[in-house]
Structure 1
Amino acid sequence: MATRSRDDREARRRIRQMEAKRELRQQQGKRRKRDNVLAAGAGATALVLAVVLQLTVFSSNPTEAEFAAAQAGLSSPSASPAASNSADVPSADTAAGKTFTGELTLNSGVVGVQLDGSAAPQAAAVLKSLSDSGYYNGASCHRLTTAETFGLLQCGAKSADGADDPGYRWGPLENTPADNKYPAGTIAVARTGNDAYGNGHQFFIVYKDTTIPADSAGGYTVVGKVTSGLDVVTKIAAAGLKAGAANNDGAPVAPVTIDSFSLK
């Protein structure tokens, strides 16, 4: 009887050991499975982040600056600040804080003008430099618009087709209206579309309240205003457009020439 009792106890001990080992293996299996799930989740998260970064960075063939910006979580930088002015464009410092007044003579009609070097120093410096050099003398006002809310006369072209010198370009944009509205009498700078450094020699005079939608670069630099003689421009506009003009936009019916442009 004593021997049988010892055998029974030994058997029960072995059974308990086997159960303990089985439970340990089950726990280890569950732990491995859980660890694998976590690893897979971490891998999936990393993959998603990598895909998002790739889509963010490479969707538009970015520059190195744009790639760095995306990595840093920043918006894509504008290309405009990287642009530079042509070598012969005067420094904005020559006009900063100054006010220039003068006269623009169109077909013998005199228009009084004032340029604001505080609001638009680079634009004021350019127009002052060009007028001092006599660049505008004999140039034409080749474009007129006559729509109900879009009335301007664009001037400064050296050729009848309105082409400008592509080697003379400058920026940035200055003093652009937040509401895209240009009151009658506004003098603003014409430029290439969608280019904040696409300003050249040309400018336009707004002869009636006008709305010009901004493009991807922004609005148009307001450099000054007409102080007298706006009727000279309104009379040119009243004469109408040359035959063949479309959408109230074309050449004035009678050629318009800048006789002189003086500023002091």
Structure 2
Amino acid sequence: MPSNEQRRAAAKRKLERQLARRAEQEKKRKRLTIAGSVLGVIVVAAAVTGVYFLTKGGDEADTNAESSSAVPTTQFVNTPLDIPGPPPPAAKPATVDCGYPADQEPSAKPVTAPTTTSVATDGPEVKVSIDSTQGPIGLSLNSAAAPCTVNSLVSLASQGYFDKTSCHRIVATPGFGILQCGDPTATGKGGPGYSFDNEYPTDLYPLNDPALQQPVNYQRGVIAMANAGISPEGKGTNGSQFFLVFGDTQLPPNYTIFGTIDDAGLATLDKVAGGGVKGGAQDGGPAIPISFNSVKVG
């Protein structure tokens, strides 16, 4: 039975193949565009990538320890996508039962799984304040849409799991804008030692529904979970890694959306996005490093 680490490695290999194909397709598109004088209609490659862009694991990230003072910045401009977002969340019972089974891999930082597994869905939004090295980020978490996800993140934040951690991955291109965080190891491989199932919008589709592979718009300002796909047993692989969406992003609905980012947080993310990716790549560590000093609930 493959472990999460093996699935992550397989996801990385698939992503590398996709990137190679995408680069060749982009070259062909550019040649065709010049030949036909067709301007403004090229779909940016990053906007049509699939599920493996947001898997946890397999990222060759670093600790982002160096200074960003010499990094040139530009203004990040959101490129709205012409595809809709996912359908609205479905109504849930007043309480739901959440499961957080242990992973084969130990936690990247001392922490325990949530002790509360019967979670209310009718409470107010949960407010979270992130004090980051590049500015504040305020979050509003939606327990009505993703109660088990919110319950987990609140538990981890309350235990200090995200404090003094770095965001290890950024993609900042027209049509694709995410900052991935939540791994204390800053490698893309760390988790809390337990996992849990997907929620909204995956729960709107029957298992193996072809619509799960059709892209939707993860709109600027939402927060969603990174994962390692579905296990052979049909279980979810959500842990602690999440991504903050600062630019409309095209993905299949396989990543749990569990909240939104405030205006101050988007300004902070735009600042980091303006520096791009280290080395000028499309996907990798942010050139302007960002770490969380603290993540507090309430």
**1 or 2, which has the higher helix percentage?**
1
Give distance in 2, aligned partners of 1:237 and 1:108: 11
Of 155, 160, 167, 2:186 maps to 160
Q: CA deviation at 1:108?
A: 4.6
Residue 246 of structure 2 corresponds to which residue in structure 1?
A: 207
Matched residues in 2 for 1:151 and 1:144: separation? 7
- Whether contact under 8 Å (1:84, 1:197) holds in the other structure is no
Partner residue of 2:118?
93
In 2, Cα distance between equivalents of 1:145 and 1:241: 7
Q: Contact (CA 8 Å) 2:171, 2:276: kept in 1 or not?
A: no
Once the two structures are TM-superposed, the CA of residue 106 in structure 1 deviates from its matched residue by: 1.9
Q: Conserved in 2, the CA contact under 8 Å of 1:150 and 1:212?
A: no
Deviation at 1:95, TM superposition (A): 4.9
Q: Does 1:190 align with 2:229?
A: no
Of 192, 214, 228, the match for 2:263 = 228
User: Is 1:134 matched with 2:160?
Assistant: yes
Higher mean alpha-carbon deviation, 99-108 vs 162-171, is at 162-171
Contact in 1 for aligned 2:168/2:181 (Cα 8 Å): yes
| 1:261 and 2:295 aligned | yes
Q: How many residues align?
A: 176
CA distance in 1, matches of 2:186, 2:224: 21
Q: Which amino acid aligns with 1:200?
A: G
Match of 1:148 in 2: 174
Cα offset, 1:209, TM superposition: 1.0
How far apart, in 2, do the equivalents of 1:189 and 1:136 lie? 14
Using the size of structure 1 for normalisation, the TM-score is 0.61
Whether the 8 Å contact between 2:183 and 2:191 is mirrored in structure 1 is no
**C-alpha deviation, 1:130, in angstroms:** 0.7
Worse-matched range after superposition: 90-99 or 189-198: 90-99
Q: What is the CA–CA distance in structure 2 between the aligned matches of 1:239 and 1:136, rounded to whole Å?
A: 23
In structure 1, how many angstroms separate the alpha carbons of the residues matched to 2:262 and 2:153? 17
**Which one has the largest radius of gyration?**
1
1:61-72 aligned within 5 A: none
CA displacement at 1:224 relative to structure 2: 0.2
Partner in structure 2 of residue 251 of structure 1: 285
**In 2, Cα distance between the equivalents of 1:168 and 1:191?**
12
Deviation at 1:175, TM superposition (A): 3.2
Aligned partners of 1:194 and 1:117: how far apart in 2? 22
Contact 2:162 2:292 in 1 (8 A): yes
Of 180, 184, 192 in structure 1, the residue corresponding to residue 216 of structure 2 is 180
Change (3 A) 1:95 1:238: farther
Change (3 A) 1:226 1:161: same
Q: Is the 8 A contact 2:198 2:255 kept in 1?
A: no
Cα drift, residue 244 of structure 1:
6.5
Describe the SS at the equivalent of 1:193.
coil
SS of the residue aligned with 1:249? Answer: coil
| CA-to-aligned-CA distance 1:59-110 (integer Å, 9 cap, x gap) | xxxxxxxxxxxxxxxxxxxxxxxx9522543245345322201211221511
Q: Which runs of 5+ in 1 are unaligned?
A: 1-82
Describe the SS at the equivalent of 1:191. coil
Taking only the aligned residue pairs, the percentage that are identical comes to 35
RMSD of the alignment, in Å? 2.3
Task: Tell me, yes or no, if the aligned pair for 1:141 and 1:154 is still in contact at 8 Å.
Answer: yes
Distance (whole Å) between structure 1 residues aligned to residue 158 and residue 192 of structure 2 = 21
Task: Tell whether the 8 Å contact from 1:97 to 1:121 is kept in structure 2 after alignment.
Answer: no
Matches within 5 A, 1:32-51: none
Aligned pair in 2 of structure 1 residues 251, 95: CA closer, same or farther (>3 Å)? Answer: farther
How many Å apart are 1:213 and its aligned residue? 2.7
- Contact 1:189 1:221 (C-alpha < 8 Å) held by counterparts: yes
Q: TM-score, normalised by structure 2?
A: 0.54
Aligned AA (2:177): G
Give 3-state SS (helix, strand or coil) of 1:243's partner: helix
